[in-house]
Amino acid sequence: MKKTRFNAHHRKLGAKMIEFCGWDMPVEYKGLIEEHLACRHAAGLFDVSHMGEIHVTGRDALAFVQHISPNDAARLSPGMIQYTGLMTAKGTYVDDMLVYCVHPEFFLLVVNAANTDKDYAYIQSVKGGYEISLDNASDRYSQLALQGRQAIPILQPLTDINLAPMHSFTFAFGKVAGKECIVSRTGYTGEDGFEIYTLDQEPGILWDAIMEKGAPLGLQPVGLGARDTLRLEAKLPLYGNDIDDTTTPLECDFKWIVKFKKGDFLGRDVIVRQNEQGISRKWVGFELVDKGIARPHYPVFVDGKPYGQVSSGTYSPLFKKSIGFVYLPIAKTAIGTEFAIGVRDKRLKAVVVPTPFYKRDY
């Protein structure tokens, strides 16, 4: 099993560890609900070093990113970041990813841990005649996410980067606790916050310094368990559950990442056709009306007939109810529409609700 460079920190904290995509990762420290609420009300620190980082460099770097992504990377100046998908020729997802523009001949792609090897192989397979170099740098990077309303007060004393003026989805190079880092105003929780990348081979002091500054402000380490419930409340999709190589950005309500006017990209013709003809199903949020918890892969029933499965579902620590996401036939996606979810031997009533479930108010 692979270990992040913060593994000893998790063990020392007594975290419950699990194997996740071949990595030995903390699923919770003190408890999922407490960690979730600490992140919502103060701040949370996450080890996300398992995420993948791929360098795309060379004369055709921008053109190549434009080829694999439906979003318009030409809009990116150095220091800007874009959320997008890595597309198949069918307009479906190989993965979702963040594209960091270091300069027009150097893009950093941040991809899911579960998909890093697959993505890298795919990117190499579609490289064609583009004059670029590809480098799967994932094992050299460590990454922490500091998320929550206390993120700036915690991080600012530790870095020479002026954090407050940074816009969402931008990044800067600088020092954090004496280590060279990339600091980006991004995250996977619905909170304000930062993701901190370093190539330093001994990054442990980053964790220690952030925890020391943050503990008096309510910062807690957060495991993968609460990472999932936080992202779900904020309507951030999880690859493998909510999106995969059978879903298009239009179906999962991410039409905004598709820039039809930017020129060609992988899968564009399929997505254009789907946009003209209209989608037949859509990804929507639900609440369970009956008592219980709807979890991923539980069967869904529309008008009494089976219709796929729950894509993501959990108990919401913030709202204290069962929430989730599901693909429904387009005619059944209006807010208030009722359907059923099979929970063991029962069919429980669920209702389509507005999303995101959580939107920060600061």
Q: How far is the CB of 32 from other proteins (least distance, A)?
A: 5
β-pairing, 346-353 with 93-103?
unpaired
Identity of residue 332? K
Binding of other proteins by 107 (CB under 8 A): no
Q: What angle do CA 97, 221, 238 make, to 5 degrees?
A: 25
Helix, strand or coil, per DSSP, at residue 149: coil
Helix, strand or coil, per DSSP, at residue 219: strand
Q: How far is the CB of 225 from other proteins (least distance, A)?
A: 5
Nearer to other proteins, 60 or 228 (CB): 228
C-alpha of 275 from chain center: 25
Binding of other proteins by 344 (CB under 8 A): yes
Options 88, 189, 314, 355; binder of other proteins; rule CB under 8 A = 314
Nearer to other proteins, 219 or 230 (CB): 230
Instruction: Scan for tokens 């990595």, then name that residue.
Output: 23
Options 278, 291, 336, 354; binder of other proteins; rule CB under 8 A = 291
Identity of residue 308? G
Q: How far is the CB of 14 from other proteins (least distance, A)?
A: 11
Longest dimension (CA), the chain: 60
Binding of other proteins by 295 (CB under 8 A): yes
Site for other proteins in 216-255 (CB under 8 A): 225, 228-229
Helix, strand or coil, per DSSP, at residue 153: helix
Nearest to 204 by CA among 5, 2, 3, 4: 5
Binding of other proteins by 32 (CB under 8 A): yes
Nearer to other proteins, 148 or 317 (CB): 317
Stretch of residues binding other proteins (CB under 8 A), selected from 7-15, 273-281, 310-318, 323-331: 310-318
Nearer to other proteins, 27 or 352 (CB): 27
**Complete DSSP assignment for 338-349:** EEEEEETTEEEE
Q: How far is the CB of 253 from other proteins (least distance, A)?
A: 25
How far apart CA 127 and CA 96 sit, in angstroms, is 18
Binding of other proteins by 31 (CB under 8 A): yes
| Tokens of residue 216, six digits | 């008096």
Nearer to other proteins, 58 or 292 (CB): 292
Identity of residue 327? Y
Stretch of residues binding other proteins (CB under 8 A), selected from 32-40, 45-53, 113-121, 240-248: 32-40
Q: How far is the CB of 118 from other proteins (least distance, A)?
A: 26
Strands, E assignment, the chain:
16-20, 23-28, 43-47, 52-57, 81-87, 93-103, 106-111, 133-136, 142-147, 171-176, 179-184, 193-198, 219-221, 281-288, 299-302, 305-316, 321-329, 338-343, 346-353
Binding of other proteins by 27 (CB under 8 A): yes
Options 28, 60, 191, 200; binder of other proteins; rule CB under 8 A = 28
Binding of other proteins by 340 (CB under 8 A): no
**How many chain residues interact with other proteins (CB under 8 A)?**
19
Where along the sequence are the contacts to other proteins (CB under 8 A)?
16, 27-28, 31-34, 225, 228-229, 291-293, 295, 314-315, 317, 320, 344
